[in-house]
Amino acid sequence: MGKSIAEAQERSAAGGGGGGATSSINGGNGGAFYYAGGGQERLSLRPPSLMKVPCRKRQRSFAGSYSSLINSNGATSAFFNSLAITPSAAKCASARLKGPLLPPLSPEHEGRKTLVLDLDETLVHSSFKPITEFDFAIQVEMEVETSRMGLQTVFVLKRPGVEAFLRAMASLFEVIVFTAGLKQYADAVLDNIDIDNCIKHRLYRDSCKFHMGGLVKDLSTLGRDLRKVIIVDNSPHCYLLQPRNAVPIVSFIDNRDDRELLDLIPFLSVISELDNVTQALGQV
């Protein structure tokens, strides 16, 4: 079996640094960084500390109480100990446009809440190396050597139930995908999984903010009432600024029996009916 991006990141953290050009398709704290230099190619995803914090939120009975948020493994103290973000990438990500990131709510979504979905390890898992099972492969132009661009093949595994989940959410919410990844990578993936055009808007790395050593998704920049915004993300750092709007989800790598997205459908259906989602999610 080929090494996944996450496995390569673990190897990168253990092997130390080295010179070379850097590039990334899924950057920030959720980023997959590609290195070329020193005669060896390496990858770096999010640091092991983040990969080791699977968070799970379940609905037992909304009339009673929400289930507790389970952290099955402790995070290490070095939250971004192996994260490589180039100064130019950080500057680009921190350069926010004036005004809201999204246009006004369309008439078809009047009265609906906004559901913000992460991409990598939430909806899909991607790997630069061939893997035993994958659903599709894409080619992304990226820096493969210093000052030289080239096509890199990325193998993508869809999280089980992702299409059904998107269809169900599109009937309830204004659906947004907000990723720390590059546009060319994210669009290629989303064009393959969003076959029914359920996603209304796509936001990329240049819409993130650089904060506390990594990229965060500031929901206050969307131009939506925060009482009516929910984010589903496997990375706690991404929703650091608005934790009361978050529904954590366990990271997806290659578990074909994973039911996280399907299990979230009834939970989010209930949340969609609330006047203020932060009051409910903030109690968990």
DSSP 31-69: -EEEEEETTEEEEE-S-HHHHT--EE---SBTTTBPPPP
pLDDT at residue 12 above 80? no
At 25 the pLDDT is 53
End-to-end Cα separation, the chain, in angstroms: 38
Residue 62 in any domain: the answer is yes
**Is residue 100, in this structure, part of any structural domain at all?**
no
Amino acid, res. 100 = P
The answer to whether residue 101 sits within a structural domain is no
Please state which of the ranges 34-43, 79-88, 222-231, 255-264 shows the lowest mean pLDDT: 34-43
Q: Report the mean per-residue pLDDT for the chain.
A: 75
Residue 72 or residue 275, greater confidence:
275
Which residue, among 175, 179, 181, has the nearest Cα to 154 in the 3D structure? 181
CA dist 64 → 61, 195, 248, 281 (Å): 5, 37, 20, 14
What pLDDT is stored for residue 223 in this prediction?
A: 97
CB 246 within 8 A of CB 231: yes
Write the pLDDT tens digit of every residue in 49-106: 333 333 333 333 332 322 322 233 232 222 223 233 444 554 544 454 568 999 999 9
Mean pLDDT on 203-220: 95
CATH number reported for the structural domain that contains residue 227 in this entry: 3.40.50.1000
One-letter identity of residue 244: R
Q: Report pLDDT for 97.
A: 52
Which tokens is 105 given? 């709510």
Active site residue 194: no
Q: Find, among 119, 135, 96, the residue nearest to 31 by Cα.
A: 119
Span 36-52, pLDDT tens digits? 233 333 332 332 333 33
207 domain residue, yes or no: yes
Residue pair 233/121 in contact (Cβ under 8 Å)? The answer is: no
pLDDT in tens, 105-140: 999 999 999 999 999 999 999 998 998 899 999 999
**In-domain check, residue 225:** yes
Residues 211-217 have a mean pLDDT of: 94
Given a cut of 60, whether residue 1 has pLDDT beyond it is: no
Does the pLDDT at position 171 exceed 50? yes
**Is 51 domain-assigned?**
yes
Considering the domain boundaries, does residue 21 fall inside one? yes
pLDDT value at residue 263? 97
Task: Write down how long the chain is.
Answer: 284
Does the annotation mark 120 as catalytic? Answer: yes
Q: Is the pLDDT of residue 23 over 70?
A: no
* 0.75 exceeded by pTM: no
Q: What is the pLDDT of residue 77?
A: 26
Question: What distance in Å separates the CA atoms of residue 82 and residue 140, rounded to the nearest whole number?
Answer: 24
Q: How confident is the model at residue 284 (pLDDT cuts 50, 70, 90)?
A: low
Whether residue 133 is contained in a domain is answered as yes
Confidence grade of residue 143 (pLDDT, cut at 50, 70, 90): confident
- Domain residues for the domain of 277 are 5-68+76-95+106-281
d(CA 248, CA 232): 6
Q: Write down the pLDDT at residue 192.
A: 97
Task: Describe the crossing of helices 260-271 and 162-170 by its angle, rounded to 10 degrees.
Answer: 10
Q: Which residues pair with 149 in a beta bridge?
A: 143
| Pick from 108, 75, 122, 97: nearest CA to 238 | 122
Per the structure, the count of domains in the chain is 1
99 vs 155, more confident: 155
User: Which residue among 120, 194, 218, 233 is the active-site one?
Assistant: 120
